Structure 1
Amino acid sequence: MKEVNIMVGGILDLVPLDQLQKRTQETWIGVDYGATFLLDHGIVPAIALGDFDSTPAPLLKRLKERVGCLETFPPEKDYTDTQLGVKRAFLDYQPDRVNIYGATGGRLDQLLSNLYFPLLEEFQPYLDRIRLIDRQNEVTYYWPGEYTIKKLSEMRYLAFVGLTPVKNLTLPDEKYRLKNFSTTVPISWSSNEFNGQVNHFSFQAGVVAVIQSRDWTL
């Protein structure tokens, strides 16, 4: 599986550093201060991009010296920095999966922007290949269908989030089961749990985000 990783300049205390260490040889895109964060942790991103409004001038100079491809955008633009990074990842590398780090926590407006942007028409072709990852959560996106999901060893909780109206969501073997539940508004079925290491779910219309999570630990 071909994967590309994106480091966004959000709340970087939430970044799982153990995953970075395992992915040092993979392709990385640094978004705004996320590019500096990567350099600080021994990873030279293939691309650094953004408006760099949160990157001090000396650190931006270092990026220009170290990163082969650096693209600067004005703060007033049609896309968020995260969206620009995702566009470049799929257009340049055609990956099977894009892992986004540093896109959660902090300001709620930015969190919601990062959670919902895969629903935009331009990003829908990539929706089910995008993951949001931090120390507490992993978010994946699904179109209608029948799915098998595997428990992440460090995660306790399981949530099914209808990002759109959803038809006939069925959770047949989770701890708290659900059968053919439909809703006309976005809703989160949260604080569920796996039964065993593998569970299943299905739905017939809409978009569902699956979140595996755990309580915060320092």
Structure 2
Amino acid sequence: MRVNVLVGGPLAMVPTNLIKERANEKWVGVDRGAVTLLKMGIIPAIAVGDFDSITDMELQGLEDALYQVKVYPPEKDYTDTQLGIRFATQGNVPDEIDVFGATGGRLDHLLANLFLPLQAEFKPYLTRIKIIDRQNVMAYYLPGAHTITHLKGKKYLAFVNLTPVKRLTLLDEKYPLLDWDSEIPFSWTSNEFTAKENHFSFQKGIVAVIQCSDPLKIGN
């Protein structure tokens, strides 16, 4: 089972065609993301957030159209994206949690979303979460040996340790790496696949793997 979460980031970075393909799947609308889903003809299971970026009329439209709308004060303990992930993991925990609209715009929002799966409350779901936009698909990995499958249209491959890492090894990528250690976050960018499936491993830490493309080579 997959749950999709659309938060309120810039629409220019949202892969609208992919979202429309998933119209019949379960959606959580976060703040303006809920309004965007309605405009696309998708009824989210729930809308959550402080909704400080939409008008009173738009909020009323959500309340009229949706079964559940949870409105929080702007001064709250959770960010809107955190609220979206919390609701996505309620009940039967999904196998996949794909987050859209979490990139672009303000850097503080981007960094908050990037590091969200490392927080204690969300870490149990870390390997289930992906952050997706028009150019990037980012997944999170815990220590071990892993196989990654090349996504269509994504030329580049990046390995980013978000915590100290031990013995990061890129076995069969275009630019291999052997038993690399680091005490600080670091991004090995612009690597590439050498086959449909490539492999990597590490013994300690948390690593984000990003498949990405250049802006001129993407569609919706």
Q: TM-score, normalised by structure 1?
A: 0.98
Q: Which runs of 5+ in 1 are unaligned?
A: none
Please state how far the C-alpha of 1:93 moved relative to its aligned partner.
3.7
Describe how 1:6-155 pairs up with structure 2 within 5 A: 6-155=5-154
Over residues 41-100 of structure 1, what are the superposed CA-to-partner deviations in whole Å (9 max), with x where a residue is unaligned? 010101001000001111111000001000000111111000011011112341011000
CA distance, structure 1, for counterparts of residue 163 and residue 112 of structure 2: 15
Residue identity in the other structure for 1:47: I
Describe how 1:122-201 pairs up with structure 2 within 5 A: 122-201=121-200
Residue correspondences, number = 217
Residue identity in the other structure for 1:81: D
Match of 1:203 in 2: 202
Q: TM-score, normalised by structure 2?
A: 0.97
Residue identity in the other structure for 2:57: P
Residue identity in the other structure for 1:26: E
Please state how far the C-alpha of 1:196 moved relative to its aligned partner.
1.5
Identity over aligned residues, as a percent? 54
CA distance, structure 2, for counterparts of residue 12 and residue 102 of structure 1: 7
